[in-house]
Amino acid sequence: MVRTAGWEEVRGLVYASFEEQGVGGRPSPADGYLVYEEDGEVVACIGWRRLGWLYTEICHLYVMPSYRGRGIAKILVREAVKELPAKVFLATVVEWNTPSQRVLSHCGFQAVGKCPSPRTGRTLVVFTYVKTE
Ligand SMILES: CC(C)(COP(=O)(O)OP(=O)(O)OC[C@H]1O[C@@H](n2cnc3c(N)ncnc32)[C@H](O)[C@@H]1OP(=O)(O)O)[C@@H](O)C(=O)NCCC(=O)NCCS
Q: What's the CATH number where 65 sits?
A: 3.40.630.30
Pocket test for ligand 1, best of 75, 102, 117, 126 (most atoms within 8 A of CB): 102
Q: What is the number of structural domains in the chain?
A: 1
Judge whether 55 and 85 are in contact, CB under 8 Å: no
Burial of 9 (0-12, 13-18, 19+ CB in 10 A): middle
Q: Which residues line ligand 1 (CB under 6 A)?
A: 17, 20-21, 61-63, 68-74, 93, 97-100, 102-103, 106
Provide the domain limits for residue 45: 2-130
pLDDT digits (tens, 9 = 90+) for 31-68: 999 999 999 999 999 999 999 999 999 999 999 999 99
Count of CB atoms within 10 A of residue 130's CB? 10
Q: H or E element: which one contains 17?
A: helix 7-21
d(CA 73, CA 64): 10
Span 62-103, pLDDT tens digits: 999 999 999 999 999 999 999 999 999 999 999 999 999 999
